[in-house]
Chain A
Amino acid sequence: MNKRLHYVIDGDDFTSAGQASGDVKKVLKTLGVPSEIVRKASIAMYEGEINMVIHADGGVIDVDIMPDRIVMALKDSGPGIPNVEEAMQAGFSTAPDTIRNLGFGAGMGLPNMKKYTDSMEIDTKVGVGTTITMTVKIV
């Protein structure tokens, strides 16, 4: 058995950003997933969700929770990432100043997503969009 969750992330509604990952956190706790894993998965998803809103005008997130792992797929039709290696560097950010004033844009999102998950794949094409798939193992 598995549990699937689907979220549409509105790129125009910055104030709602982070709600989907908050919901996933609640579901994972209810399913009895160990607290350290809940923490890792929800932080990784939070960063990806915020990126979708800041950099890619929203998108969709599919979460598949299985007894042994959590797979999160974040898909957007934004500008794409021209240089993934550069984007993955701690501190690299193209976020506008208005967003920085709110405490975002520290360039730690992608590095944290990598750090908190067991695997992360970035499929991106400039002008087409970005799909990031992350897996967190439960056992």
Chain B
Amino acid sequence: MEGRSHSVTLEVEKCKGCTTCIRYCPTEAIRVRGGRARINSDLCIDCGQCIRVCPNHAKQAVFDQLQDSMGRFKYKVALPAPTLYGQFNNLDDIDFVLAGLLEMGFDAVFEVARAAEIVSDYSRKLMETRALTYPVISSACPAVVRLIRSRFPSLCTHVMSIKSPMHVAAALARTEAMEKTGLARDEIGIFFISPCPAKVTDAREPIGSMSSEVDCVVSVANIYKPLLLRMNKLKDGDPRHLASSGIMGISWATSGGEASALLEEKYLAADGIENVIKVLEELEDDKLSDISFIELNACPGGCVGGASTLENPFVAKARIQMLRRFLPVSRNKYEEREVPPHIVDWHFPLDEQPTEALAEDISEAMRKMQEIERLTAELPGLDCGACGAPSCEALARDVVAGRAKENACLFVLKHKLGELFEDAATDALTDAEEDKK
């Protein structure tokens, strides 16, 4: 399999090999071997769940460092995800955040919420054509799209084949900056301020196109402090008028925001990776035919629950609701003259990348399955995790795949050692008896 790039990594020194993460990983991609966690990159979807649960903060997302990256470009544009707005106490105007970003050294800001409104408008038009595979699944959360292509490949055709607001914002921001400054493409740096590791991966290895216009990805958590400092220094009174998005664009930060912007009644919105999996199972069983649109977010509450945010998702959601008050419903539309379709459309369809099969050949897979069942029956069935695999069955699968030994299980080991001692003891006894004779 091709080497997939990932942004969730392990800080080896911090990992105590405690096995917490292996139980929470929704794709069972993590094993603890040799006293530390290892991530199988074919299975990881970058959802950030392990970052959230690690008690030692050993799991991290690899973001670009702001200081190092800023110097690489002549002209820098910040692309704040709307989630950023929900991180600040007593904020009543988004302009403070945007002005703060300019104070930090960015030359321009391009709100991702602005692109979200363009994407919403474009999606509404696509939905009206009725020429899609229904129910249509949102393609905005890259962790979800990666989950679909590996665990629910038959649903690939349901995924809306358009880019997420991040990519659209990046493309538009670069064009705007080039026109304004006359600078060359690579003299302009596009910085996405991200709630999650999934977006880092998506900027490096986008779904549906060969490359992204995003140059650097910094996390909401990392930019928070320097940004807050600048925001506090802004003179009292009104900052420059910079915000250019409305309720619809900003609502993309919370679960249901994207779906409600479609003005489509028959929608479903689920958030949190476990809930997402349940909905995909239902869809796979053909049980959701009365639904037109499905919005799925890997994080609890939507992007406000992203693993690289600071604020509790419920608090962030409440703040975003307050910030939306008195804003126009939407301030951006899709205009083909300004935004050619190739900026929004995927350039190629989503390819199935199933990971669940035990072997390519069905007979071979059956043989392995039999072996796994035999081994699983021999294991104690406690799913204790001490072997480093999330369940006894997972250890059996690893053993059959040649990735682990059966005596990684402490109970199997104890049993084997017991036999060894017994043999030794019997030998000693027989020796003694023979001596007596």
Contact = CB atoms under 8 A, between A and B. Distances in A.
Q: Do A and B bind each other?
A: yes
Given A29-B357, A30-B357, A31-B358, A3 B366 contact: yes
B357 A1 contact: no
A3 B154 contact: no
A2 B366 contact: yes
Contacts of B284: 25, 39, 42
A60 to B, nearest CB: 20
Interface residues of A, number: 24
A79 to B, nearest CB: 26
A31 B354 contact: no
B362 A30 contact: no
Interface in A19-78: 21-22, 25, 27, 29-33, 35-36, 38-39, 42-43, 46, 65, 67
A36 B153 CA distance: 9
Nearest to A33: B362
A31 B281 contact: no
Given A36-B154, A38-B154, A39-B154, A31 B366 contact: yes
B390 to A, nearest CB: 16
A120 interface: no
A43 B285 CA distance: 6
Given A32-B359, A35-B154, A46 B354 contact: no
A138 interface: yes
Contacts of B352: 35
B148 to A, nearest CB: 11
Contacts of B13: none
Nearest to B156: A35
B354 A35 contact: yes
A32 B357 contact: yes
Contact of A1 (B153, B360, B363): B363
Given A43-B286, A46-B285, A32 B360 contact: yes
Interface string B107-142: 000000000000000000000000000000000000
Which residue, A2, A21, A30, has most C-beta atoms of chain B within 10 A?
Answer: A30
A3 to B, nearest CB: 5
A31 B285 contact: no
Contacts of B360: 32
Contact of A30 (B285, B356, B361): B356
B367 interface: yes
A1 B366 contact: yes
Nearest to B151: A29
A3 B356 contact: no
A13 B365 CA distance: 33
B359 A35 contact: no
Interface string B346-384: 000000101011111111011101100000000000000
Nearest to A27: B369
Which residue, A1, A21, A25, A65, has most C-beta atoms of chain B within 10 A?
Answer: A1
A67 B362 contact: yes
A46 B369 CA distance: 23
B163 to A, nearest CB: 25
Nearest to A26: B356
Given A2-B366, A3-B366, A43-B286, A31 B154 contact: no
A35 B281 CA distance: 13
A4 to B, nearest CB: 10
B286 A31 contact: no
A135 B282 CA distance: 23
Contacts of A39: 154, 284, 286
27 contacts: A1-B366, A2-B366, A3-B369, A18-B285, A21-B285, A22-B281, A27-B369, A29-B357, A30-B358, A30-B365, A31-B358, A31-B365, A31-B366, A31-B369, A32-B357, A32-B358, A32-B359, A32-B360, A32-B362, A33-B362, A36-B154, A39-B284, A42-B284, A46-B285, A67-B362, A67-B363, A138-B362
What 3 A-B pairs are tightest by C-beta distance, nearest first? A32-B357, A35-B154, A31-B365
Interface of B: 153-154, 281, 284-286, 352, 354, 356-363, 365-367, 369-370
Given A29-B354, A31-B366, 10 more contacts: A1-B363, A1-B366, A1-B367, A2-B366, A30-B369, A31-B369, A32-B362, A35-B154, A65-B366, A67-B362
Interface of A: 1-3, 18, 21-22, 25, 27, 29-33, 35-36, 38-39, 42-43, 46, 65, 67, 112, 138
